[in-house]
């Protein structure tokens, strides 16, 4: 639900694409099966140690899924050029919304900079939310919906609902790339 751009990267690119990749736990096993790591290494070692019989290994082998293409979905893109020079200001918050849930203010819409360890970013976010009429007590914890915690550095965050995705929004980006 979040496009999390490392703060230095925001300086080096104009367009950022959020792709959701459908990797499951089964994909890793299927990949290891496909490259023979399971049969040639793990199974051989188990046989050598005498901890399993051939019939058990064959059943496990048959139960491991075959490797298939990993599905991916392009959720949308963020074009920083739409925000002009304001995106260069490392304290900018362009969109902020959410709601109080118990002692937490849960952010569900956001475009801007965030650093979970720097109090100035919390203050700016609270000011932006209050400026749009949201009730945010001073004691409220700030949480981003679906995120347990961010790494302790500056991020540029865009909620997926703020991404562009329609064909007519992609066309200028594609034209710029293709020339």
Alpha-carbon dihedral angle through residues 177, 173, 171, 76, given to the nearest 10 degrees:
130
Distances (CA, A) of 90 to 32, 39, 83, 113, 123: 43, 52, 13, 6, 14
* Token pair for 159: 């909620």
Mark the ranges of the chain whose per-residue pLDDT is less than 70: none
Distance of CA 32 to the CA centre of its chain: 25
What whole-number distance in Å separates Cα of residue 157 and Cα of residue 113? 6
Beta carbons of 27 and 97 less than 8 angstroms apart: no
| pLDDT tens figures, 125-159 | 999 999 999 999 999 999 999 999 999 999 999 99
Say what the pLDDT of residue 67 is.
Answer: 92
Q: What angle do CA 156, 148, 76 make, to 5 degrees?
A: 45
Say what the pLDDT of residue 113 is.
Answer: 96
Say what the pLDDT of residue 24 is.
Answer: 86
The residues facing 164 across adjacent strands are: 77
Domain ranges of the chain: 2-16+81-178, 25-63
Say what the pLDDT of residue 120 is.
Answer: 95
* Token pair for 177: 């790339």
What is the pTM for the complete model shown? 0.77
Say what the pLDDT of residue 5 is.
Answer: 94
Q: For every residue of 115-167, which 3-state class applies, written as one string? A: CCCCHHHHHHHHHHHHHCCCCCCCCCEEEECCCCCCCCCCEEEEEHHHCECCH
What whole-number distance in Å separates Cα of residue 13 and Cα of residue 5? 10
């Amino acid at each position: 639900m979040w496009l999390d751009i490392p703060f230095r990267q925001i300086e080096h690119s104009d367009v950022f694409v959020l792709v959701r990749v459908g990797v499951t736990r089964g994909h890793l096993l299927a990949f290891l099966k496909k490259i023979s790591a399971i049969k040639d290494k793990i199974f051989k070692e188990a046989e050598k140690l005498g901890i399993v019989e051939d019939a058990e290994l064959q059943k496990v082998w048959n139960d491991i899924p075959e490797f298939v293409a990993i599905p991916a979905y392009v959720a949308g893109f963020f074009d920083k050029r739409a925000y002009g020079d304001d995106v260069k200001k490392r304290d900018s918050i362009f969109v902020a919304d959410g709601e109080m849930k118990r002692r937490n203010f849960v952010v569900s819409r956001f475009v801007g900079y965030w650093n979970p360890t720097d109090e100035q970013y919390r203050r700016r976010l609270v000011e932006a939310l209050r400026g749009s009429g949201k009730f945010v007590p001073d004691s409220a914890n700030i949480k981003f919906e679906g995120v347990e915690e961010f790494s302790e550095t500056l991020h540029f965050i865009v909620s997926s609902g703020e991404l562009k995705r329609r064909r007519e929004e992609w066309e200028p980006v594609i034209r710029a790339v293709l020339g």
